[in-house]
Structure 1
Amino acid sequence: MKQRANLCAGVVALLVLAIVVGAAQKESSNPAPGQLGGPAAPLTGLQWIKGGPVQLTQGSITVVEFWATWCPPCRTSIPHLTEIQQRFKDQRVTIVGVSNETADIVKPFVAQMDEQKKMEYAVAVDREGQVWKGYMDAFGVRGIPHAFIVGKDGNVLWRGHPMAGMDEVLEEVVNDRFDAVAYAAKQAAREKEEARVLALYKSYFTTVGTDPGEAAAIGAQLVGSDNSAMLNALAWRVLTDVPQESRDLELAREAAAKAVTLTEEKNPSILDTYALAMYELGKKYVAQAVTLQKKAVDLTDNAQAKESLSKALRRYESATVE
């Protein structure tokens, strides 16, 4: 289960990396649905678990975020979304978390979060798929978590990972300072960089077993990236998928360490990867692996994920006394 949980984060990261909004959004005075600046789909067909119903209204700002209980990056985003909701609660900003799971799955999860006051925003399930179709399908998005900011005029102004600068964009939207044209230019440059990094990532794993020199050069370029999700996916795959004779443990350590720094030591999945890298480097680094894994366990709320991380922790701890 440990491997599945962390690989889930890696797979989601790759899907997010692979999404390109059709090069850059085509400039238009009247953008169509499915384009930034175009009209947002209504929040219809939802079963409200908490805080609803919510409707898109003129003058209000709504953040529509897609998530799932089984998704580790989604669970990591929940406290951040709560912070944002509390920060902007008096400025007509409403956050809505939308899952396509059943109410029987989402209700107990939300109840658990409520006990810890970690999910203080509206939550709904989209079993009919209307809202998913109006946002995720319309924009060609597959990976979660993914959020959309609907502005005061009812148009979609921004989309992306809820922990990838969304709060800064929301601040500008609230204060009527958001420049859609400038953002579109930045987004196009960002997507070009993500496409470049994804191509390097794929190249690394096609050359690692056949051309070590080329693989090392590609690895060095990848570690130069500031994409924490990609760095985590790179390190985890090196540690778990690459044959031992071709495994570059120092690359995995360096990538995981940078990902931990970029996420300010707040992502348990990335801490888990870094801990594994230190453990694999040998007995000299096991104590550091234990420290990192303890932090990952402490940051995890989901019982199943916590047990998986705790199992790895016990393995590292036993290695310190051997």
Structure 2
Amino acid sequence: MRTALFRNLLAFFLIATAGGARLAEAADAGAAPEGNASAEPGPSKPLTIGSPAPGIDIEHWLTNGNGRFEPVTKLEPGHVYVVEFWATWCGPCVASMPHLAELQRRYADRGVTIISITGEPLEKVEPSLERPFRKPASKQAEAAEAETGQPAGPTTYAELTSAYCLTSDPDSSVANDYLYAAGQELIPCAFIVGKDARVEWIGIPSEMDEPLEAVVTDAWDRDAFKRLFDAKRAFEAGIVQVRRLAGQGKGDEAIALLESLIENAPEEDMARSAEGLRGGIVMTDFSATARVDRAAAAKRFTDYAASEHYSPSLLVGFVRVSTPHVRPGVAGGQELAAVLAERVEPLLETGKAPRGLDAVYAMLLAEKGEHDRAITMLQEAVAAAGNTPMKALLQRRLDELTKAKEEAEAAAAPSS
């Protein structure tokens, strides 16, 4: 999901954002983010706030503001452009279309041109525009339709996007010069190009109303925004480094860096979001450590559980990643299981355990060799699940465990 710029890289951890599409993930899934999925972005000069805006060479202009705009190849001085990137497979991009259409109508006579670009070929884009546009219901629209007998507003996405310039650029030349050159990984993404043909703002379309108005009225402070933009990019790079350190089992370094980032975050909501990553970082570090040193992992969990940042809601994850490491004979496995049990079992006894903890703990007990107790716990979990999708999963695990126990007993029984 896409949020403000600084959250782009926080999404690597656990931020459940409000809508966005990562181009690399789309390629992995078989979608074509810009052009085709196998296309690699070509070399471009780095682009940031204040950079001269590259020229635009777009192959297909599908709409033109109902004849108001000519295809753009050169950015004219004194004019403001919004260069926005979208794709048919990107839900938040499609959801932004009514907003872009409204902005273009609002600024049509004030020297603003909105150009929306996808890297997909025409044969994929054109059918998507023929889909019905389901506008939000309103009493005014219903009244107008009842009076005229005609639909109020656009009925297809082709009609909706006819207010601005919707385009297709399969060779990704503009995406290379703007999107990739600016290091942007998420769409929708918009660039405001000011009257001197320099980049004024980069972000998501839903947040560009105020910057666009300021640019149009010559009230925009480009230098101030560049300082904030650069600080956010540095913060994002720091978060990536935190993730890398945690994945390498360097939890102390990761947490130290995270705390420094929180203390020096450019904005308060960035600090709050980063603070929310702490548990995920501890979990990543714990998992990496448990693979090589169970005793060290046990100490890391003990230290975390004794800290002010401890959250019982993460116990499900700790137990799950520990399960393969507690088998009899695994060095440090019993110690790891013991420190987890100190936190898990009191919660299970009081009925205050996080959802799913009983099931994952039962599997840990089974790996540890306590099959009878594991089966009993799963039986209780199945009975408590009621008529929910979780019940089928729990029953399947119970059946597997029961079968494994029966096979083990049969193998151990003396032959007659």
Task: State the TM bucket, normalised to the shorter chain.
Answer: 0.5 to 0.7
User: Which 5+ residue runs of structure 1 have no aligned equivalent?
Assistant: 1-5, 16-31, 253-280, 284-316
1-side partners of 2:164 and 2:196: how far apart? 22
CA distance in 2, matches of 1:194, 1:140: 11
Q: How does 1:19-58 map to 2 (within 5 A)?
A: 34-51=47-64, 53-55=70-72, 56-58=75-77
Q: Does 1:109 align with 2:128?
A: yes
Residues 196 and 150 of structure 1: CA distance in aligned 2, closer, same or farther (over 3 Å): same
Of 120, 124, 133, the residue aligned with 2:167 is 124
Question: Partner residue of 2:35?
Answer: none
SS of 1:198's equivalent in the other structure is helix
User: Which is further off, 124-133 or 78-87?
Assistant: 78-87
RCO higher in 1 or 2 (8 Å CA, sep ≥ 6)? 1
Between the aligned partners of 1:81 and 1:151, the Cα distance in structure 2 is 17
- TM-score, with structure 2 as normaliser: 0.43
Q: Does 1:166 align with 2:208?
A: yes
User: Does structure 2 conserve the Cα–Cα contact (< 8 Å) formed by 1:37 and 1:157?
Assistant: yes
Deviation of the 1:99 alpha carbon = 0.6
- CA deviations on 1:173-228 (whole Å, 9 max, x unpaired) are 01101112111111122222222333334455565xx979x88x979x98x97369
Separation in structure 2 between the aligned mates of residue 251 and residue 167 of structure 1, nearest angstrom: 39
Q: CA deviation at 1:101?
A: 0.4
Question: How much has 1:10 moved relative to structure 2?
Answer: 7.0
Checking the alignment, whether the CA contact within 8 Å between 1:50 and 1:121 is kept in structure 2 is yes
2:229 to 154, 177, 187: 187
For residues 140-179 of structure 1, what are the structure 2 equivalents within 5 Å? 140-163=183-206, 165-179=207-221
Query: How far is 1:142 from its partner?
Result: 4.2
In 2: Cα distance, 1:140 partner to 1:196 partner: 15
Selected match of 2:111 from 77, 92, 95: 92
Instruction: Name the CA shift for 1:44/1:13 in 2 (closer, same or farther; >3 Å).
Output: closer
Aligned letter for 2:174? V
SS at match of 1:148: strand
Q: Is the 8 A contact 2:100 2:114 kept in 1?
A: yes
The residue identity in structure 1 corresponding to 2:89 is: W
Counting aligned pairs with the same residue, the percent is 30
> Shift of residue 109 of structure 1?
1.8
Distance 1:211 1:183 in 2: 34
What whole-Å deviation, never above 9, does each CA across 1:24-78 have from its counterpart, x for those lacking one? xxxxxxxx98353333223224201112643233322110011211223423433
Distance 1:320 1:133 in 2: 45
**What is the aligned residue count?**
238
Aligned in 2, Cα 1:129/1:321: closer, same or farther, shift over 3 Å? closer
Aligned AA for 2:196? D
1:115 & 1:318 partners in 2: Cα distance? Answer: 40
Counterparts of 2:25 and 2:122, CA distance in 1: 28
Contact 1:97 1:123 (8 Å CA) reproduced: yes
Q: Please list the CA deviations of residues 110-132 of structure 1 after superposition, one character each: whole Å capped at 9, or x if unmatched.
A: 23255356544211011233322
Cα distance change on mapping 1:282 and 1:107 into 2, 3 Å: same
Asked if the contact 1:62–1:149 (Cα under 8 Å) also holds between the matched residues in 2, the reply is yes
For residues 248 and 96 of structure 2, what CA distance do their matches in structure 1 show?
32
Larger radius of gyration: 2
Specify the code of the residue in structure 1 equivalent to 2:209: D
C-alpha spacing 1:11/1:35, structure 2 compared with 1 (3 Å)? closer
Superposed, which structure 2 residues align to 1:120-269 within 5 Å?
120-163=163-206, 165-203=207-245, 226=269, 250=313
Task: Summarize the Cα distance change of 1:84–1:249 in structure 2 as closer, same or farther, 3 Å threshold.
Answer: farther
**Is the 2:21–2:187 Cα contact (8 Å) retained in structure 1?**
no
- Judging changes above 3 Å, is the alpha-carbon distance between structure 1 residues 143 and 44 closer, same or farther for their aligned structure 2 residues? same
CA contact (8 A) 1:67 1:99 kept: yes
TM-score normalized by the length of structure 1 = 0.54
Once the two structures are TM-superposed, the CA of residue 14 in structure 1 deviates from its matched residue by: 9.8
Letter in 1 for 2:63: K
> Structure 1 CA distance, aligned partners of 2:46 and 2:235?
26
Greater displacement, 145-154 / 76-85: 76-85
Distance 1:94 1:43 in 2: 13
